[in-house]
């Protein structure tokens, strides 16, 4: 593999320029001094950190030349930001819902009184910073993934101004999901910084869904989103994201999921859109007996590049983590899966698994797989597996021998490949919604 | 299974002894040629002058030195321990004489003593087709059975090979592993000396293995042997190497380059048992190129050294070629075995297999690092990789870092890795039947590597088992 010579450009223009930061900061005139300091420090860190390079192990195989920031700017809301935003009604059963358009709130959440009375908070991030600064401060940007995109984490911290805040107090159990829909496309060339912070108290239960979509298939966007899901002791948390930006979008989705003692945290990611996505997921076993499941499904076609980096950190004993990343590739698409299980010395009796399955459906698609283990405790069960291949001829033969034509057989096999993840959503509406998106993308 | 407790060094049967204590001795040797300490262009000229090398070899060395100097130490992915190597304190060339002796009686007495302790002449008498023993920079003894020479097999040192048979060796020298491949292959290309150049003519099947022993005797010495094995169409050869060094307080560097070329339908098997003492940095580049229908198999066993970085590879250039790596690594306190394999598929219907087993004892660290690539438009390439790690103590460490790149829908790759410890049930079962805990543990560990060890030639597998038992001593409780 020849190392890439192209130098990434993070020029002092567009998003990378100080005037943009000042512009962002001026919108925070009302905010507490700690928020200003947090943003100022982040901006300095962003400027100090080097741009990613392929020679860096955490950027191995990745493209870096399309990460230039100079042609993007912050969205300016003039007039009604809800103009042109399609209605979204694929999932009707929800505890509450919020809709953003280029980080501007266009549909405020209507939280049922019963939840409000129990102390549940579900609101846009800027409102949370204003109304519940101390609650937010305890968690905000304290658990970043840190798997190579530290520069972009800093950029996010400096420039973000909106997103989702969900707080579920201890012992409150909520069945229906909280849904946040992010649309891009208010204007061409805008940069979005959606932030999601989910804090679920001890023994509570909640499901959160983030949907990322574009209004217009033609507009160019840069997205740098961060999500942080925190599951308190004994809690049950589901976090699901569907990324379906338009094909002119370069997106960072930098996620972290942390589980305290005996908590069960499940996350599912679906990657369909964007020209280039860098998705980082860091799962942390913080307390004994915690369990984290991380699943992901990607369908990449055309010249899409989906770059996935994961880290499962076990820093407490008796933890369990299981990760399954499935990628289907068509045309000239590229995927990278780089995963690491890290088991600290104290994390004895850990069970940790990591699986990456790549299905190549064209002669020019490229799947890179870097499954890693770093084990410092001896009484553990850890394994990883990675397979890359195409549709098995014997499977096709089975269908053909039963009178099912080849094309349909292939489609059924591929849908079966997706189904393993799709059926893990514990929400039928969401499963149907994702199934349709995935199948449409595959068929067209 | 014999009782492990009786397998102490004192009661060992004669044979291939490569356990660490047997290798831990050295003789004061007067060297006729000494390139001094430090690495400068003059060092290269000194080596080339002593050897009387042609100008193109000298130019090759100088070019490689420039590459070595321009390349950074690869600590962005490798162990920071590499920074502990002080290239200015190393002696790059030491020899007692230029020509290896063909008869054992002519070998100087002290050198003979060294190799007799290692059991070389005995081995030769027993079964070897050819043997070479390298003492620091140069081969001190080299012999091959006459019948092989009659068949046209060539088995010589690196300089001799390049000077006397340029028509055979020059074509492939530095082609499988160019000087610029990595920092340490560049270093080797600059100061290489000794090693084995082997050519097996078309259709010749060398039934018994050819063998080489590498011995570092001097303190602060760097050994840079260079091996090139060419198996012509339909030829077959097995090569075994063993290495030892005494325990010095200071660090010693061993940086070899091994190139294998298997032409159409040829088979090469390369077996290494590495048992350097724990002060040796062992940074070796090994790669083979397999043409149509050829097969290259690396059997790599790493037990000694302070830090080993070695990823034997096969470039599958010809259709239907096959590559295989079997790797066993044992990392004890203070050791880091960073081993693995590379498989580069470059033709249709090529298959490769990697099987790696590592054992970490005490504070030892075993790392598997692998690379598998399949370019687009190829059909029916297959790779299967399995790596298993066993952790013995609470503070043992293991890492696995494979990198797999597959393009196109005609190929398939499978990779699996697991990490575990010896299960308490197994130990309990054996102790219940009267074995001590240490014996039970040793037996379980031997079971873990048993299916790989069976692939080794018999003499090696017996010794390996015993060596693992020795290494396990005192690791329990």
pLDDT digits (tens), chain A, 444 positions: 333 444 444 444 688 888 899 988 988 988 899 999 999 999 999 999 999 998 888 999 999 988 988 889 998 877 777 778 888 888 999 999 999 999 999 999 999 999 999 999 999 999 999 999 999 999 999 999 999 999 999 999 999 999 999 999 999 999 999 999 999 987 899 999 999 999 999 999 999 999 999 999 999 999 999 999 999 999 999 999 999 999 999 999 999 999 999 999 999 999 999 999 999 999 999 999 999 999 999 999 999 999 999 999 999 999 999 999 999 999 999 999 999 999 999 999 999 999 999 999 999 999 999 999 999 988 899 999 999 999 988 999 999 999 999 989 999 999 999 999 999 998 999 999 999 999 999 887
* Bridging pattern class, strands B138-144 and B130-135: antiparallel
Whether A259 and A405 share a structural domain: no
Q: Looking at the whole model, is its pTM more than 0.90? A: no
Query: Which residues of chain B are within 8 Å of residue A376 when distances are taken between CB atoms?
Result: 395, 397
Which regions in chain B score pLDDT beneath 70?
A: 1-30, 96-131, 139-143, 244-249, 459, 475-477
A396 touches chain B (CB under 8 A): no
Q: Is residue A69 part of a domain?
A: yes
B414: nearest CB among A360, A381, A387: A387
Q: Using an 8 Å Cβ cutoff, are B476 and B449 in contact?
A: no
Alpha-carbon separation of residue B42 from B61, B67, B167, B267 (angstroms): 11, 16, 29, 40
Among A residues 44-63, those touching chain B with beta carbons less than 8 Å apart? 55-57, 60-61
Interface contact flag, A388 B392, Cβ < 8 Å = no
Query: Which residues of chain B are within 8 Å of residue A364 when distances are taken between CB atoms?
Result: 376-377, 407-408
Residue of B nearest to A366 (CA): B407
* Bridging pattern class, strands B154-156 and B197-200: antiparallel
E strands present in A272-365:
276-285, 291-300, 305-314, 320-329, 334-343, 351-360
A358 touches chain B (CB under 8 A): yes
Q: Is residue A262 part of a domain?
A: yes
Q: Is residue A292 part of a domain?
A: no
CA dist A259 and A237 (Å) reads 9
Whether A33 and A174 share a structural domain: yes
Whether A262 and A400 share a structural domain: no
Residue of A nearest to B381 (CA): A389
Collapse the DSSP code of B282 into the 3-class scheme (helix H, G, I; strand E, B; otherwise coil) and give the result: strand
Count the Cβ atoms, other than its own, within 10 Å of residue A409. 18
Whether A99 and A222 share a structural domain: yes
Residues spanned by the domain of A183: 8-287
Q: Using an 8 Å Cβ cutoff, are A376 and B397 in contact?
A: yes
The pLDDT of residue B101 is 63
Query: Which residues of chain B are within 8 Å of residue A61 when distances are taken between CB atoms?
Result: 403, 405
Interface contact flag, A385 B396, Cβ < 8 Å = no
DSSP symbol at A14: G
Domain boundary among A251, A266, A287: A287
Q: Is residue A43 part of a domain?
A: yes
Residue of B nearest to A375 (CA): B398
Interface contact flag, B419 A381, Cβ < 8 Å = yes
Query: Which residues of chain A are within 8 Å of residue B395 when distances are taken between CB atoms?
Result: 345, 376, 378
Domain boundary among A287, A321, A347: A287
B410: nearest CB among A56, A376, A390: A390
Query: Which residues of chain B are within 8 Å of residue A365 when distances are taken between CB atoms?
Result: 407-409
A308 touches chain B (CB under 8 A): no
Q: Which residues pair with residue B172 across a beta bridge? A: none
Q: Is residue A1 part of a domain?
A: no
The pLDDT of residue A231 is 98
Among A residues 321-350, those touching chain B with beta carbons less than 8 Å apart? 345, 348
CA dist B437 and B12 (Å) reads 22
> How many structural domains does chain A have?
2
Domain boundary among A287, A309, A341: A287
Q: Is residue A297 part of a domain?
A: no
Q: How distant is the Cα of A364 from the closest Cα of chain B, in angstroms?
A: 5
Q: Is residue A293 part of a domain?
A: no
Q: Is the dihedral of CA B244, B247, B250, B251 positive or negative?
A: positive
Q: Is residue A216 part of a domain?
A: yes
A378: nearest CB among B392, B414, B417: B392
| DSSP run (H or E) holding B418 | strand B412-420
The pLDDT of residue A291 is 98
Interface contact flag, A369 B76, Cβ < 8 Å = no
Mutate to test the interface with A, among B76, B354, B389, B407 (most CBs of A within 10 A): B407
A368 touches chain B (CB under 8 A): yes
Interface contact flag, B404 A373, Cβ < 8 Å = no
């Amino acid at each position: 593999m020849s190392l890439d010579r192209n130098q990434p450009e993070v020029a002092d223009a567009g998003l990378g320029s100080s005037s943009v930061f000042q512009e962002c900061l001026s919108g925070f005139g009302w905010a507490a001094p700690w928020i200003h300091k947090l943003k100022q420090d982040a901006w300095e860190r962003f400027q100090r950190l080097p741009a990613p390079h392929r020679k860096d192990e955490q950027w191995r195989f990745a493209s870096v030349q399309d990460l230039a920031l100079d042609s993007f700017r912050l969205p300016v809301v003039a007039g009604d930001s809800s103009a042109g935003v399609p209605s979204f009604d694929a999932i009707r059963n929800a505890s509450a819902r919020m809709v953003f358009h280029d980080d501007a709130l266009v549909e405020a959440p209507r939280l049922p009184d019963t939840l409000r009375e129990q102390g549940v908070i579900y609101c846009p991030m800027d409102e949370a910073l204003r109304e519940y600064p101390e609650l937010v401060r305890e968690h905000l940007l304290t658990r970043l993934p840190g798997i190579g995109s530290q520069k972009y984490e800093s950029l996010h911290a400096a420039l973000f101004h909106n997103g989702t805040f969900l707080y579920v107090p201890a012992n409150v159990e909520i069945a229906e999901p909280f849904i946040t829909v992010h649309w891009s496309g208010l204007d061409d060339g805008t940069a979005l910084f959606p932030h999601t912070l989910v804090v679920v108290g001890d023994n509570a239960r909640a499901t959160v869904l983030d949907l990322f979509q574009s209004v217009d298939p033609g507009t160019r966007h840069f997205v740098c989103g961060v999500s942080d899901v925190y599951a308190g002791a004994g809690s049950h948390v589901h976090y699901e994201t569907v990324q379906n930006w338009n094909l002119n979008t370069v997106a960072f989705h930098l996620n972290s999921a942390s589980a305290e003692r005996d908590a069960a945290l499940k996350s599912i990611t679906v990657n369909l859109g964007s020209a280039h996505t860098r998705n980082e997921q860091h799962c942390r076993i913080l307390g004994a007996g915690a369990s984290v499941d991380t699943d992901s499904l990607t369908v990449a076609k055309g010249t899409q590049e989906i770059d996935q980096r994961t880290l499962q950190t076990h820093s407490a004993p008796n933890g369990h983590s299981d990760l399954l990343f499935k990628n289907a590739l068509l045309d000239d698409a590229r995927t990278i899966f780089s995963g690491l299980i890290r088991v600290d010395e104290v994390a004895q009796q850990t069970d940790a698994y990591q699986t990456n399955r790549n299905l190549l459906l064209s002669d020019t698609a490229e799947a890179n797989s870097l499954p890693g283990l770093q084990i410092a405790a001896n009484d553990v069960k850890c394994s990883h597996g990675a397979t890359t291949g195409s549709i098995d001829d014997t499977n096709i033969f089975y269908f053909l021998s039963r009178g099912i034509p080849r094309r349909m057989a292939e489609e059924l096999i591929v849908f079966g490949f997706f189904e393993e993840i799709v059926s893990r959503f514990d929400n039928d509406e969401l499963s149907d919604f994702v199934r349709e998106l995935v199948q449409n993308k595959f068929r067209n | 299974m014999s009782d492990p407790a009786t397998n102490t060094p004192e009661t060992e049967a004669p044979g291939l002894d490569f356990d660490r204590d047997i290798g831990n001795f050295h003789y004061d040797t007067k060297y006729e040629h000494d390139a001094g300490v430090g690495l400068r262009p003059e060092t290269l000229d000194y080596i080339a002058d002593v050897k009387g090398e042609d100008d193109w070899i000298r130019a090759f060395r100088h070019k490689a030195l420039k590459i070595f100097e321009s390349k950074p130490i690869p600590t962005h992915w490798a162990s920071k321990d590499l920074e502990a190597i002080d290239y200015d304190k190393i002696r790059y060339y030491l020899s007692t004489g230029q020509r290896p002796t063909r008869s054992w009686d002519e070998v100087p007495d002290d050198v003979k003593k060294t190799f007799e302790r290692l059991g070389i002449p005995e081995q030769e008498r027993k079964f070897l087709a050819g043997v070479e023993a390298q003492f620091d920079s140069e081969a001190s003894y080299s012999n091959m059975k006459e019948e092989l020479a009659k068949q046209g097999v060539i088995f010589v040192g690196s300089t001799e090979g390049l000077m006397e048979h340029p028509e055979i060796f020059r074509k492939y020298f530095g082609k499988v592993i160019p000087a610029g491949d990595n920092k340490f292959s560049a270093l080797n290309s600059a100061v290489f000396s000794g090693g084995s150049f082997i050519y097996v003519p078309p259709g010749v099947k060398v039934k018994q293995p050819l063998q080489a022993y590498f011995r570092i005797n001097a303190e602060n010495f760097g050994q840079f042997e260079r091996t090139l094995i060419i198996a012509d169409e339909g030829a077959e050869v097995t090569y075994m190497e063993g290495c030892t060094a005494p325990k010095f307080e200071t660090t010693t560097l061993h940086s070899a380059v091994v190139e294998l070329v298997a032409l159409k339908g040829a088979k090469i098997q390369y077996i290494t048992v590495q048992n350097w003492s724990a002060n040796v940095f062992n940074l070796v580049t090994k790669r083979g190129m397999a043409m149509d229908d050829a097969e290259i198999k690396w059997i790599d066993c790493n037990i000694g050294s302070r830090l080993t970085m070695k990823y034997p590879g096969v470039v599958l250039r010809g259709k239907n070629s096959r590559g295989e790596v079997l790797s066993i690594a044992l990392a004890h306190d203070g050791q880091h075995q960073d081993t693995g394999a590379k498989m580069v598929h470059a033709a249709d219907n090529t298959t490769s297999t990697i099987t790696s087993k590592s054992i970490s004892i005490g504070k030892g660290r075993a790392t598997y690092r692998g690379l598998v690539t399949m370019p687009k438009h190829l059909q029916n390439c297959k790779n299967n990789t399995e790596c298993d790690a066993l952790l013995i103590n609470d503070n043992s460490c293991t890492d696995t870092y494979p990198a797999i790149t597959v393009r196109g829908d005609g190929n398939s790759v499978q990779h699996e890795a697991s990490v575990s410890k010896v299960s308490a049930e197994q130990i309990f079962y054996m102790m219940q039947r009267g074995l001590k805990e240490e014996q039970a543990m040793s037996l379980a560990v031997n079971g873990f590597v048993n299916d790989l060890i069976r692939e080794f030639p018999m003499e090696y597998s017996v010794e390996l088992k015993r060596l693992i038992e020795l290494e396990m001593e005192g690791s329990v409780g």
